[in-house]
A and B are shown apart, each in its own frame.
Chain A
Amino acid sequence: MGWAFYNVPCSDTNTSLHPFSLAKGLVTSGRNTCTPYHSSTVKIPFVAILRTNLHQEMNYFPDEVIEHIFDSIASHRDRNSISLVSKSWHKIERCCRRRVFIGNCYAISPERLIGRFPCLKSLTLKGKPHFADFNLVPHEWGGFVHPWIDALARARVGLEELRLKRMVVSDESLELLSRSFANFKSLVLVSCEGFTTDGLASIAANCRHLRELDLQENEIDDHRGQWLNCFPDSCTTLTSLNFACLKGETNLSALERLVARSPSLKSLKVNRAVPLDALTRLMSCAPQLVDLGVGSYENEPDTESFAKLLAAIKKCTSLRSLSGFSEVAPLCLTAFYPICQNLTYLNLSYAAEIHGNHLVKFIQFCKRLQRLWILDSIGDKGLEVVASACKELQELRVFPSDLHDEEDNNAAVTEVGLVAISAGCRKLHSILYFCKQMTNAALITVAKNCPNFIRFRLCILEPNKPDHVTSQSLDEGFGAVVQACKGLRRLSVSGLLTDKVFLYIGMYAEQLEMLSIAFAGDTDKGMLYVLNGCKKLRKLEIRDSPFGNAALLADVDKYETMRSLWMSSCDVTLGGCKRLARDAPWLNVEIINENEDNGMERNEEDEREKVDRLYLYRTVVGTRNDAPSCVTIL
């Protein structure tokens, strides 16, 4: 049985607690230990559930009451735990479960999902592995949503919300979706592909109660049709519309009419084809906007247009979140000064045109900023300003702005900027930082300043780059981070790293769930330290590192506790993968080949052939049947 890796504890601590608070104070456990953890939904500290006592007490309540108690528990993991307490709880929980999250669409089948959760309203599905974002996974690899929509439609599930990430979506799927669920309200597609604006037209036309259409960074074939026109005049319920990733022209009048008849619209993110004057009109008829993504305007606006824009912006007093700005003249950014002190989220990471100085001038007034996505053109000096101005900052992402220029970029960021941020922004818990150089000393300082990191992703652009002051590896720096940040859940490492950093990670990163490794380590020991040490590890992705069969095969059971493992350009061989597939039938072991021909001929000699890309994941439904020819499933 695939999922039986939680052990519900049976220790007896306190018998006199009210069942309601006990039900809310749940414990999830690791493989063999009982580790209390705090649910994000509950403020009451946890206690161990008494399998016998609580269960018996709560059985005196009618099912509806128990359901009501369960309804207050939102976290997927807590609900998973509830369902494991007893058979009756399992039954009650599954019938009242509304939201299901499936981290790997091939781990379970649509039929089993529907069988277990017939009252499903909201489904989140993820398809391709993370490294697909960086072109390491062939387009045809899989992650098709159609079978899911088909199954849900046939079973007449009352689906209201569908959230997909890295999945292949077709126009037919969207058409089917739009016609099958009368109460469908929310479609969120992130990093998906395979559909066109025709599919969007079906959604617009047929989903009478549509509230949210959120398209984030998808590859959409823009037929420049009239999909916006397809929203019927009766559609007035939109709360969120994001089509920033569409590349073609937009029917501006249709958009303006749509926005004008959507009084509940809180989030609007337009694409590049929406010029300044249209934006002004849109903002004028939607001053209630909370979240705005602006289009692009290459020209400097003339005085009159600028004045109109400024006036419209001043009315948007609820605006908290600003993004877009691809190809934007700096003056347009200044139009947003009137509301910048209200902003909590600012994404200028597409604004390649705006010089660092302009960015800094704007950001220094955003005193309430909690999340900032920016390009490295802001520079270390700019980050120092951010550190002194944005004391509420919780999440920072600094993206590389110029990847083709090999010259020394004085405006890019270094360890200096990172240290400044850590010193000034004490609430920082998430960081993604692309830089050209780093030092151990800086990382140690950062760790000391910000022990609250949950996500720490550092990408030094040049692989294997050592500490640029001492020329040593960065093991100590990252070691300091994992040691200080006890709540670290996600880590990406880079630069010159030996096995030692993995020893540190295995020893200290107790809450680590996702680890990304590239060009690091020396021997199999590195990977073994991680697999043995990180008890909560769910996703491990490795590229270009010398880990081989010994590490892969050392603890096969470990993979049952993880969602997936990715290894590309490492030292694992076909023979090793075959052995793993034999020993672990609950895993799908996929080999992704360079070209299709490789898949067919395999003889004994080839078992020593290194595998180019390995992707394995636990599943309860066995081998999938939609794999393309470049993928071999062992």
Chain B
Amino acid sequence: MEGCPRNRETCPKLLDLIPQGRKWYHEEKKNSDQEKKLELRLGPPGVDEDDRSAMNTETRNNIKQQQNIKKESEDKSIFSLNGNHFSPSNKTTHVPHISHKRTAPGPVVGWPPVRSFRKNLASTSSSKLGNESSHGAQINKSGDGEKQVELKREGMFVKINMDSVPIGRKVDLSAYNSYEQLSFAVDNLFRGLLAAQRDTSGGEGEEKPIIGLLDGKGEFTLTYEDNEGDKMLVGDVPWQMFVSSVKRLRVIKSSEISSALRFGCSKQEKMRN
């Protein structure tokens, strides 16, 4: 096979270069530390690699991915400048690239090798509120264990607004363990207010129970805004997952669901709020 001899010639050189690649890696790392500080990133100013607690996981992951991508493109440009030093092939430019990738401090794609539902498991458990703390059965570690239990006992209050009611309420999600309980709470919070609102148009002061919030059958439907800013229907995900991602609640008229979900409308609502 004619390709082979050529390959064999280049191969020893390749192997020779790889041990040097290790040294490279050390030098290159130094550069990258400085580069890191100069890089554009998503976090607030002054945040660096170590200050992870300030960001939530998602922005952290985004930043890491951005950094990884940025590093790759910057590395290539740097080494193409120095390309002349390293005959015979461009392969050498990639060696430190690989070692750099190998020890990237941030989360690497597909590592550790667990299925995504296991990763979600951990994050929903670490944000679990309520009952567990009363049994001291926290997964989270001994060091911060007590502190975290304290924090969680304070409760998780989110704003809740209802269509046609100008005044909003706040509800403590940590006090509930299921959508049914939440739905019941919403009824408690707004039944009187809604009746008062409707009362102004004259007539009976009758208070009608607010039901059917979860199945779309009632006059109103419960929706929420999650941590990504999206408007979502309540009830799709397990309760704890919902609690960990909800930012505010909104009770909307079931008839307006289609309009509420239109992108433009939700944007307007966001701007209004």
Contact = CB atoms under 8 A, between A and B. Distances in A.
Q: Is chain B found bound to chain A in the same assembly? A: yes
Interface of A: 131, 133-136, 217, 247-249, 272, 296, 298-300, 326-327, 329-330, 349-350, 352-355, 357-358, 377, 399-411, 434, 459, 461, 463-464, 492, 516, 518-519, 522-525, 543-546, 548-550, 553, 569-571, 573, 579, 582-583, 608, 610
B87 interface: no
Given A133-B113, A135-B110, A299-B131, 6 more contacts: A131-B113, A400-B118, A410-B141, A461-B112, A569-B98, A583-B1
A352 B113 contact: no
Contacts of A608: 89-91
Contacts of B1: 583
A290 to B, nearest CB: 25
Interface string B93-129: 0110011011100001111111111110111111010
Would you list the 3 A-B pairs with minimal beta carbon distance, nearest first? A352-B125, A134-B110, A355-B137
A416 B273 CA distance: 55
B139 interface: yes
Contacts of B235: 249
Contacts of B102: 463-464, 519, 544-545
B112 A327 contact: no
B85 interface: no
Contacts of B89: 608
Contacts of B52: 406
B237 A136 contact: no
B123 A131 contact: no
A553 B4 CA distance: 9
A524 B8 CA distance: 13
Nearest to A519: B102
Nearest to B117: A217
Contacts of B236: 247-248
B7 interface: yes
Contacts of B178: 298-299
A548 B14 contact: yes
B202 interface: no
Contacts of B239: 298, 327
Contact of A327 (B4, B15, B135, B238): B238
A402 B131 contact: no
Interface of B: 1, 3-4, 7, 11, 14-15, 18-19, 21, 52, 57, 89-91, 94-95, 98-99, 101-103, 108-119, 121-126, 128, 130-132, 135-144, 177-178, 235-240
B121 A134 contact: no
B9 to A, nearest CB: 11
A217 B115 CA distance: 9
> Which of A296, A461, A571 has the most chain B CB atoms closer than 10 A to its own CB?
A571
A272 B237 CA distance: 10
A136 to B, nearest CB: 5
A-side interface mostly: loop
A136 B141 contact: no
Contact of A402 (B98, B126, B130): B126
Contacts of B90: 608
A234 to B, nearest CB: 30
A525 B19 CA distance: 13
Given A544-B101, A608-B90, A353 B139 contact: yes
Contact of B138 (A327, A355, A410): A355
Nearest to A579: B3
Contact of B137 (A134, A330, A400): A330
Nearest to A275: B178
14 contacts: A131-B113, A134-B109, A298-B240, A300-B131, A327-B125, A329-B132, A349-B118, A352-B122, A400-B112, A464-B102, A464-B103, A523-B19, A544-B98, A546-B18
B142 A571 contact: no
Nearest to A130: B113
Contacts of A135: 109-110, 116
A571 B94 contact: yes
Contacts of B136: 355
Contact of B118 (A399, A461, A553, A583): A399
Contacts of A350: 121
B15 A523 contact: yes
A248 B179 CA distance: 13
Contact of A405 (B18, B21, B137, B141): B141
Contact of B139 (A355, A464, A522): A355
A329 B131 contact: yes
Contacts of B124: 327, 352
B80 to A, nearest CB: 12
Contacts of B109: 134-136
A404 B118 CA distance: 12
B41 to A, nearest CB: 18
A550 B57 contact: no
Nearest to A594: B69
Contacts of A573: 91
B141 A400 contact: no
B108 A402 contact: no
Contacts of A354: 137
B87 to A, nearest CB: 13
Nearest to A434: B112
A459 B112 contact: yes
Contacts of A516: 113
Nearest to B237: A247
Contacts of B57: 404
A553 B18 contact: no
A460 to B, nearest CB: 9
Given A248-B236, A463-B103, A134 B142 contact: no
> Which of B112, B126, B239 has the most chain A CB atoms closer than 10 A to its own CB?
B112
A464 B108 CA distance: 13
Contact of B15 (A131, A409, A524, A553): A524
